[in-house]
């Protein structure tokens, strides 16, 4: 790989997928006349092996979509629907923003400014590098990055000490694979490829989900479950494992704390009790527990679906205890993955420079964006959004939009497209795609680190996040060296991390030569975990001190009144969150936004498949098309995908109009899947 890829008009160039997806595929970009004309998988990538998803195979249409933003703009019409924008220069854009911010900082202080971002591009210098330095230097309000996996990550950490799990490449050796609350066929396709290899060697595949989607259909055994009850199922399995002596006593003694307390504690989770809670028949519960207790190696892939609930943190904490009971962590390919991000942790302080912040600032939970914009005192008077589209993806969308509509809120949005959020902006800035930038990428599932160098020229006048923050720093008069570092400096500083020996060989120079490298990860066992005891904590004193039950526990979802259906608005196959929801090709592949419901429920409401329904609660409403059948249990309805306001289907499928902005039990997490709704024929 060489830095002159931009200059070469034709050829095939290495790249990495920048999307927020565990697989982090190695890619090959085909260029003709300076344009990327084809994207395929890199066959030399050991994990992703040349296979990529349909979304990214069709991504060139997005890169050169004629709706892609080319130059900065200012708003001239009203905010939101009906907004209009006029082209301005970068000089004017930066001057407008920094003039406003200087005034605001002088009058109200920097906490009146809120950066809002997520991982629309997983490149680390662009999503948690120069941006963090800039807002630290400014002293702006801090965002709690809680919209995705934070509840489950915290829950898993209480049990295992951090995001450390099985190396996915080893999972081909498993004889039992449980996909638990993950729609892996759509969201982690290479885990499915690895499971297919294991299946050829005799492995059984079990899927536990609230919805029999493509992943459930692919399973050898699909187990439907009432949403929000998975902790009870896991505790029911533990009850049987202890009762029938399928536990690995030696492993428990050597590597865990609290197994005796746990043995006592799970006696209350009798199969009949668990069955009544989960909807899983008693026979199936025994069959599952015995299968898990008697098959080795066994591997559990813990998805994000189970933790987007009020009880999500405790649920993941509980499931994460299972592999310890049968000693799976020392079996090749056994164990579990919730996330593996901690193995590849780079030097975060060196990249983010918290030392630039002279005064502590308030922290704002991103799941509470709507109420924060509407209710905080002192108020937020400026919002800077990048790498995210909160008007579509954040919970309680109507509140978010009401906040964005405030006339006294100065909003800047930096994106590749005029998103739903950008329509509320005062200033819109055009962003480069990841293939136009330098950045490094580290998967949160496999164990490889990638370097991306620019392959194509910036589209129009678009700029990378890092470049915009350098301009903003200059405009603000911040002279700190840290705000002038080059892209290469940033990557070098982040990868120089004596605290993580797994990255010892992974340097900018080595990556320049090899493009991607596997970290030298030490096996978890034998070894000290990063829990307080250094062992797997089946009993956690730390949790007890924080007011949680010390042992894994089933905590029912809160009561949302007598609305008849629990509503699960999950991701779909052809979009990635709201990315691709604006691209015609992807929308066409996805067809229309549906509402999956049980045929008995449909019949009782007089509904048949294909009919339009109104779905509503006190937070808002949306319109979806019924798909009746046996894919979900009675009392549950499921939609898939975050559809654009302007979807070709003319949909009014803003599913987040219905989702609660309650905060989950841990990590300030989101509760997208714990809301209830009414459904009726339109």
Ligand X SMILES: Nc1nc2c(c(=O)[nH]1)N[C@H]1C(S)=C(S)[C@@H](COP(=O)(O)OP(=O)(O)OC[C@H]3O[C@@H](n4cnc5c(=O)[nH]c(N)nc54)[C@H](O)[C@@H]3O)O[C@H]1N2
Helices 282-294 & 230-243 angle (0-180, nearest 10):
60
x/- contact string, 104-143, with ligand X (CB under 6 A)? Answer: --------------xxxx----x-----------------
Q: State the Cα angle at 302 between 242 and 317, rounded to 5°.
A: 55
User: Closer to ligand SF4 at the Cβ: 60 or 294?
Assistant: 60
Q: What is the Cα–Cα distance from 475 to 427, expressed in whole angstroms?
A: 15
**Helix or strand or coil: residue 63?**
helix
Q: Which does 234 bind (CB under 5 to 8 A by kind): ligand SF4, ligand X, Mo ion, none?
A: none
Q: Which of 39, 52, 122, 148 binds Mo ion (CB under 5 A)?
A: 148
User: Closer to ligand X at the Cβ: 20 or 111?
Assistant: 20
Q: Which of 225, 336, 550, 647 binds ligand X (CB under 6 A)?
A: 225
| Least distance (Å) between residue 368 CB and ligand X | 14
> Phi and psi dihedrals of 415, rounded to 5?
-155, 170
State how far the alpha carbon of 149 is from the alpha carbons of 131, 156, 228, 229, 494, in Å.
21, 11, 16, 18, 23
Helices 271-278 & 230-243 angle (0-180, nearest 10):
160
x/- contact string, 170-209, with ligand SF4 (CB under 6 A)? Answer: -------------------x--------------------
Q: What is the Cα–Cα distance from 438 to 512, expressed in whole angstroms?
A: 11
Site for ligand SF4 in 615-674 (CB under 6 A): none
Residue 419 binds to ligand X (criterion: CB under 6 A)? yes
Q: Which does 116 bind (CB under 5 to 8 A by kind): Mo ion, ligand SF4, ligand X, none?
A: none
Residue 19 binds to Mo ion (criterion: CB under 5 A)? no
Answer whether 641's CB lies under 8 Å from 571's CB. Answer: yes
For CA atoms 47, 53, 56, 57, the dihedral sign is positive
Helices 271-278 & 282-294 angle (0-180, nearest 10):
110
Best CA proximity match to 507, nearest among 447, 438, 440, 444: 440
Q: Which does 470 bind (CB under 5 to 8 A by kind): ligand X, Mo ion, ligand SF4, none?
A: none
> Phi and psi dihedrals of 37, rounded to 5?
-105, -15
Number of helices followed by number of strands (H, E) in the chain: 26, 27
Residue 557 binds to ligand X (criterion: CB under 6 A)? no
> Segment near ligand SF4 (CB under 6 A), from 19-27, 381-389, 547-555, 645-653?
19-27
User: Closer to ligand X at the Cβ: 179 or 529?
Assistant: 179
For 3, residues 6+ apart whose C-beta sits below 8 A from its C-beta are 453
Residue 300 binds to ligand SF4 (criterion: CB under 6 A)? no
> How many CB atoms within 10 Å of residue 599?
16
| Least distance (Å) between residue 441 CB and ligand SF4 | 10
User: Closer to ligand SF4 at the Cβ: 189 or 412?
Assistant: 189
Interface ranges with ligand X (CB under 6 A): 20-21, 118-121, 126, 147-149, 181-183, 186-187, 208-211, 213, 225, 227-228, 230, 303-306, 308-309, 386-389, 393, 414-417, 419, 431, 434, 465, 568-571, 573, 575-579, 638, 642, 655-656, 659, 672-673
Which residues sit at the interface with Mo ion, rule CB under 5 A?
148
Residues that bind ligand SF4 (CB under 6 A): 17, 19, 21, 23-25, 52-53, 55-56, 189, 576
């Amino acid at each position: 790989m060489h830095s002159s890829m931009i200059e070469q008009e034709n050829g095939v160039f290495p790249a990495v997928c920048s999307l927020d997806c565990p697989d982090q595929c190695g890619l090959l970009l085909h260029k003709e006349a300076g344009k990327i004309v084809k994207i395929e998988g890199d066959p030399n990538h050991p994990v992703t092996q040349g296979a990529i998803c349909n979304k990214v195979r069709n991504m060139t249409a997005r890169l050169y979509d004629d709706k892609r933003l080319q130059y900065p703009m200012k708003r001239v019409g009203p905010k939101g629907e009906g907004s209009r924008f006029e082209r301005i220069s970068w000089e004017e854009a930066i001057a407008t923003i920094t003039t406003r911010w200087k005034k605001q900082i002088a009058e109200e202080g920097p906490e009146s400014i809120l950066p809002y971002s997520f991982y629309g591009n997983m490149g680390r210098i662009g999503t948690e590098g120069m941006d963090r330095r800039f807002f630290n230097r400014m002293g702006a309000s801090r965002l709690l990055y809680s919209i995705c996996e934070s509840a489950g990550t915290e829950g898993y950490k209480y049990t295992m000490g951090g995001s450390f799990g099985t190396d996915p490449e080893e999972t081909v050796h498993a004889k039992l694979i449980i996909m638990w609350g993950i729609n892996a066929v759509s969201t982690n396709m290479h885990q499915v490829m690895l499971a297919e290899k294991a299946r050829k060697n005799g492995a059984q595949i079990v899927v536990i989900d609230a919805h029999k989607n493509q992943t459930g259909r692919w399973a050898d055994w699909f187990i439907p479950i009432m949403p929000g009850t998975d902790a009870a199922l896991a505790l029911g399995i533990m009850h049987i494992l202890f009762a029938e002596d399928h536990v690995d006593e030696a492993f428990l003694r050597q590597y865990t704390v609290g197994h005796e307390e746990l043995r006592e504690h799970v006696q209350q989770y009798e199969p009949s009790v668990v069955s009544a809670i989960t909807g899983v028949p008693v026979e199936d519960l025994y069959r599952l527990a015995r299968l898990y207790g008697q098959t080795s190696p066994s591997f559990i892939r813990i998805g994000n679906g189970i933790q987007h609930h009020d009880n999500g943190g405790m649920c993941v904490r509980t499931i994460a205890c299972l592999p310890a009971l049968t000693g799976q962590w020392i079996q090749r390919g056994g164990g579990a993955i919730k996330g593996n991000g901690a193995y590849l942790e780079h030097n975060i302080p060196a990249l983010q420079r918290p030392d630039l912040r002279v005064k502590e600032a308030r922290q704002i939970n991103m799941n509470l964006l709507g109420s924060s914009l509407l209710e905080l005192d002192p108020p937020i008077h400026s919002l800077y959004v990048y790498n995210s589209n909160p008007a579509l993806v954040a919970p309680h969308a109507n509140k978010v939009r009401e906040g964005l509509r405030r006339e006294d809120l100065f909003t800047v949005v930096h994106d590749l497209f005029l998103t739903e959020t950008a329509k509320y902006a005062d200033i819109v800035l055009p962003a480069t795609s990841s293939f136009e930038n330098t950045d490094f990428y580290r998967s949160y599932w496999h164990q490889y680190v990638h370097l991306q160098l620019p392959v194509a020229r910036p589209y129009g006048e678009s700029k990378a996040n890092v470049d915009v923050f350098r301009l903003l720093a200059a405009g603000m008069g911040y002279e700190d060296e840290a705000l002038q570092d080059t892209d290469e400096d940033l990557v070098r500083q982040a990868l120089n991390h004596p605290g993580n020996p797994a990255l010892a060989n992974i340097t900018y120079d080595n990556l320049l030569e090899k493009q991607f490298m596997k970290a030298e990860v030490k096996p978890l066992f034998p070894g000290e975990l990063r829990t307080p005891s250094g062992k797997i904590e089946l009993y956690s004193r730390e949790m007890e001190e924080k007011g949680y039950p010390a042992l894994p526990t089933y905590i029912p979802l809160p009561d949302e009144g007598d609305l008849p259906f629990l509503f699960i608005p999950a991701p779909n196959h052809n979009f990635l969150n709201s990315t691709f929801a604006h691209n015609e090709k992807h929308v066409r592949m996805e067809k229309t936004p549906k509402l999956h419901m049980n045929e008995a429920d449909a019949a009782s409401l007089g509904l048949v498949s294909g009919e339009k329904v109104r779905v509503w609660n006190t937070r808002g409403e949306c319109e979806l098309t019924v798909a009746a059948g046996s894919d979900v249990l009675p009392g549950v309805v499921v939609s898939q995908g975050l559809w654009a306001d302007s979807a070709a289907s003319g949909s009014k499928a803003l599913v987040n109009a219905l989702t609660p902005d309650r905060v989950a039990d841990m990590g300030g997490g989101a509760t997208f899947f714990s809301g209830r709704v009414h459904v009726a024929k339109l």
